[in-house]
Amino acid sequence: MAQPAVTVSDPWEMALEQFHRAARYVPLKRGIREFLAYPKRELTVNFPVKMDDGSVRIFTGYRVHHSTVLGPTKGGIRYHPGVTLNEVRALAMWMTWKCAIAGLPYGGAKGGVVCDPKQLSSGELERLTRRYATEISVLMGPESDIPAPDVGTNPQVMAWIMDTYSMHRGYSVPAVVTGKPVSVGGSVGREEATGLGCALVAREAAAAVGLDLKGARVAVQGFGNVGSVAALTLARMGAVVVAVSDSRGGVYDPHGLDPEALLACKRATGTVADFPQGQRVSAEEVLEVPCDVLVPAALEGQITPDNARRVQARVIIEGANGPTTPEADDVLRSRNVLVVPDILANAGGVIVSYFEWVQDLQAFFWTEEEVRQRLERLLVRGFQEVWRVSEQRGVDLRTAALVRAIERVADALYTRGIYP
């Protein structure tokens, strides 16, 4: 059924719009729809950090729990100058649906600190992280809320958070965060899980629409941890990477680019824009190059109703969270572009985070082959379930994914009952 065009730029308004579009297809009791739409709890903290020059700066951080119906909350921590409470709310909601689609025993959460980690020294970053972890420790715990890396954070940041929490408890608690280094309880396969998952989902989506991945042209916006791994994996599957970008620019070559060489260039110079081959393009232009598969793996709100009309891809695999606005979804749907939504396409990270948590709780660790096999099994199952709902309801994949997630959370809520 056609939806009216709604121009939405705020991430939280985007998330709500997506939710309400899908909730129409789910018979929810009075009040339950509203309960599922809004966060369970929100924490805002303002805290001091001693800088290297002896001065003190005040930073603002957030931690939002969207739902605890399916289990403890799970979600990353973002360090970025543009972090807002509404962005964190949206990301927490998307995490709820992502976990539900994957069949994980988690609710959704997200955290963030308003800062530019690139402008902080290692010591400043550690002090900021430890203070922020202390501030949100009232919510955090292996049975209550388990953070993970996101934009601007990495395994080292997770190690500092785990150590801080453990110091307060008096013993090591590795299961309090995921995405840690393997040396302190992390899981093999975690760092590349999101990008690998995007590639696996792209394989399933291509097969569903009759697109042969061998020789298929791929463009990737955001050549970070997610985008680079997705590009490398798709290239190994036989696809041809024709364009990539990062925050400083991008490069396009219709004859194909070597992802390994691109990664080496990024490590050496800090950006793929310095790659000597091909034509230099902007991050925005990468979304519009001739290609079969587009992977937006940067930040939210990148595909808008304006540029959606110029997207030439047949399939879009959302590596980032919320890269496509609701109005852009309408445009893409009218042009028969298949959009595999973020809550399905980039679920590989949270799935392997779940594996890491399980391994930490058991103090028994798996091989990388076991991790990959289990990851592929859950992603393929999730895609097939969402595709089935899409065909049965006659809706796009985003709506189908949300319907599947909302049904799963609502069913658990009805089964648990409303306390008291």
Q: Which of 40, 74, 98, 110 is catalytic?
A: 110
The C-alpha atoms of residue 420 and residue 406 are separated, in whole angstroms, by 23
The C-alpha atoms of residue 310 and residue 298 are separated, in whole angstroms, by 18
Which amino acid, one-letter code, is at 48?
P
Angle between helices 368-393 and 193-208 (to 10 degrees): 40
The C-alpha atoms of residue 178 and residue 61 are separated, in whole angstroms, by 19
* Cα 269 to the center of its chain, rounded Å: 26
**Which residues lie below 8 Å from residue 209, measured CB to CB, with a gap of 6+?**
314, 315, 338
Which amino acid, one-letter code, is at 201?
V
DSSP 87-100: HHHHHHHHHHHHHH
Q: Which residues pair with 78 in a beta bridge?
A: 112
Question: Do residues 92 and 396 touch, judged by C-beta distance below 8 A?
Answer: no
CB-based burial, 216-238: b 16+ in 10 Å, e otherwise: bbbbbbbbbbbbbbbbbbbbebe
3-class secondary structure, 73: strand
3-class secondary structure, 213: coil
The C-alpha atoms of residue 420 and residue 292 are separated, in whole angstroms, by 53
CA angle 295, 301, 304 (to 5 degrees): 85
User: Residue 141 carries which DSSP code?
Assistant: B
Phi, psi of 114 (to 5 degrees): -80, 100
The C-alpha atoms of residue 80 and residue 247 are separated, in whole angstroms, by 13
> Sign of the CA dihedral 401, 402, 406, 409?
positive
Q: How many Cα atoms within 13 Å fall on the side-chain side of residue 107? A: 24
Annotated catalytic residue 180: no
Q: What is the set of active-site residues?
A: 110
